[in-house]
Amino acid sequence: MKRFFNSRSIFFGSLILCVILFYCLSQNFFLTNYHTIESIQNEKHINNLLTHINTEIQQIDKVANTFIYSGFNIATISEIGMIGLDFIVYKNIKDGTVFSRYNYNNDEIIPLIENQTPFENDLIELFKHQSYTADIYTYKNRIFYLIKKQLNPTAFIYLGKNLNNNSLQKLSEDFAQLNITHEHITQTTLKLSTRLIENIFVQTSLEARQIINNISFYNHHDEYLFSIKTINPRKFVNEGEKTIQIVNAIMGLFLAVILYIIYKTQMLYRRVLQKDKKILESKVEKRTKQLEGLLKKVKKSNEQLHYLAYSDPLTKTHNRRSFFIESEKVLKQALEDKSSVSLVMIDIDNFKQINDKYGHNIGDKVLVAFASMIKDEIGEDDIFGRLGGEEFAIVFPNTQLDDANKKVENLRKMVANLEIKLKCGHRLKFTASFGLNDNSLSHNIDEILKNADELLYSAKHSGKNLVRSRINQTALWCDLY
């Protein structure tokens, strides 16, 4: 259950992380592109507006050229609004004549009719040193496109058209709102110019839902004229955000499906692995039990082989090979420790006559009874083995010769008291002879056994049922010679 919840947590955590990561990447990548596109589009709209303003001035310039080259009589013109003008002022330098026409249908120009003379005087005075002017002119917060041209050597005409919010809105449909203001901008993000207007400064402000431009115009003398404020909704960014949200929703759903498939595949794979694991564990456990059984059999076989290789099957004592191996170990350790080791050779007396008289079955019983009694009497560290037939040997580690002599003498007496029950009700007694030696003269097992065997031979020839050792060596030589 805990593992299941961990898997679900990982799944949902991965899904949320992927969605957030994709959302951040899409916001950063796509919105940046939308911002760039919108900035380019906004600048294009501004340039279109300035182009239209420049075109208006050029159109007035064409009208002026018509007057000059076609010989129109200005005095005959009744409605100048028909030719796209809001005022015409004629000035003859020679006689000082001033003649003017105004567009009475334009509400922005009507207030000027009452005070035409100050307007005309200011206009003529401002541009008296220029034979040609194509610019924007402001008079009492009113803005005009202005063209001044020379008709002849003594006469000039001034043609103008009022620029107001209504006419400005007609110039460009790229902006949702255009308004003339008189606010100076403090910071600029863009500087533009046209063929007729050199100094134009733009300040762009990006708000959450709209983009605002403040466009300030300056004349050839760097004198501030007026500003235009434009407002447009941020269509690209707003639509882009909607698109990104839709894309994010689709991608989120897509990622959820992909991750869910991965999650289910992982769970299925985990179940298969768990099932395979259980099967494998069962097989391993079964195989382990089989191997354990085999190991037990091998161990038992090894023990049996070891027993057969190192034990005498009749008397259950060390056989000759095992006895020599263990004896050499004891002698080697005694050499390192500088300790005493005693060894006794034993031969059951008259064993051949026992076999001949009672049979080998009784002879085997004698050997078993003898070996059993010896094993019960000697210590755990003592080494007892059958060298062959009725010959046995005992090694007493860490034992002086006189102590060993006492032990062996005690064993001799116990052997003499042993009885073997026969079928006829009789009891069979037997004795053994002992030859005792130690490692005081040699640490070679063969030499020690050889000397012990000579001592045993002396015991045999001295009447049997005796213990002969290096302690009673005089008796030995008397017996031998």
The per-residue pLDDT for 349 is 95
What percent of the chain clears pLDDT 90, i.e. is strictly above it? 30
Residues 193 and 341 in one domain: no
Per-residue confidence (pLDDT) for residue 476, from 0 to 100:
42
Question: 399 in a domain, yes or no?
Answer: yes
Which residues, in sequence order, are CB contacts of 49 under 8 Å at separation 6+?
171, 172, 174, 175, 178, 215, 228, 230
Question: What is the CATH number for 410?
Answer: 3.30.70.270
What burial class does residue 138 get, using C-beta atoms within 10 Å of its C-beta: 0-12 exposed, 13-18 middle, 19+ buried? middle
Does position 112 have pLDDT exceeding 60, yes or no? no
Whether pLDDT at 235 is above 80: no
Mean pLDDT computed over 155-182: 85
| Local confidence band at 71 (pLDDT 50, 70, 90 cut-offs) | low
Whether residue 304 is contained in a domain is answered as no
Q: Is residue 358 part of a domain?
A: yes
Q: Which of 56, 120, 326, 390 is catalytic?
A: 390
What are the backbone angles phi and psi of residue 385, rounded to the nearest 5°?
-150, 160
Residue 153, Cβ density class (10 Å: 0-12 exposed, 13-18 middle, ≥19 buried): exposed
Q: Is 43 a catalytic residue?
A: no
Q: What is the mean pLDDT of residues 115-123?
A: 79
The verdict on residue 75 lying in a domain is yes
pLDDT single digits (tens) 376-409: 999 999 999 999 999 999 999 999 999 999 999 9
Tokens of 30: 């796509």
Residue 161 φ/ψ, nearest 5 degrees? -140, 135
Give the end of a domain, one of 221, 236, 251: 236
On average, the pLDDT of the chain sits at 83
For the CA atoms of 435, 441, 442, 443, the dihedral, rounded to the nearest 10 degrees, stands at: 90
Looking at the structure, tell me whether residues 229 and 324 fall in a common domain: no
Q: Per-residue pLDDT tens for 284-334?
A: 888 888 888 888 887 887 777 767 677 899 999 999 999 999 999 999 999
- CB-based contact 225:143 (threshold 8 Å): yes
- For residues 124 and 430, which has the higher predicted lDDT (pLDDT)? 430
227-241 mean pLDDT? 78
Q: How many Cβ atoms are within 10 Å of 318's Cβ, its own excluded?
A: 23
Residues 87 and 197 in one domain: yes
Residues 121 and 217 in one domain: yes
Q: Which residues contact 149 (CB under 8 A, 6 or more apart)?
A: 61, 64, 65, 67, 68, 132, 156, 157, 159
Confidence of residue 70 (pLDDT cuts 50, 70, 90): confident
Structure confidence at residue 144 (pLDDT): 87
Would you say residue 64 has pLDDT above 70?
A: yes
In a domain, 154, yes or no: yes
* Number of domains into which the chain is organized: 2
Q: Is residue 276 part of a domain?
A: no
pLDDT for 356 beyond 60: yes
Model confidence pLDDT, tens digit, residues 77-102:
777 777 888 888 888 888 877 888 88
Task: Tell me whether residue 271 is in a domain.
Answer: no
Question: Which comes out higher in pLDDT, residue 32 or 211?
Answer: 211
For residue 463, give its domain range.
320-480
Q: 236, 271, 305: which is the final residue of a domain? A: 236
Please tell me the chain's helix, strand, coil percentages from 3-state DSSP, rounded to the nearest 5: 55, 25, 20
User: Is there a single domain that holds both residue 75 and residue 208?
Assistant: yes
Domain membership of residue 204 (yes or no) is yes
Question: Which pair of structure tokens corresponds to residue 397?
Answer: 């580690």
125 and 221 housed in the same domain: yes
Q: What is the pLDDT, as a whole number, of residue 371? A: 95
Q: Which of 210, 236, 262 is the last residue of a domain?
A: 236
pLDDT in tens, 410-437: 999 999 999 998 887 788 999 999 999 9
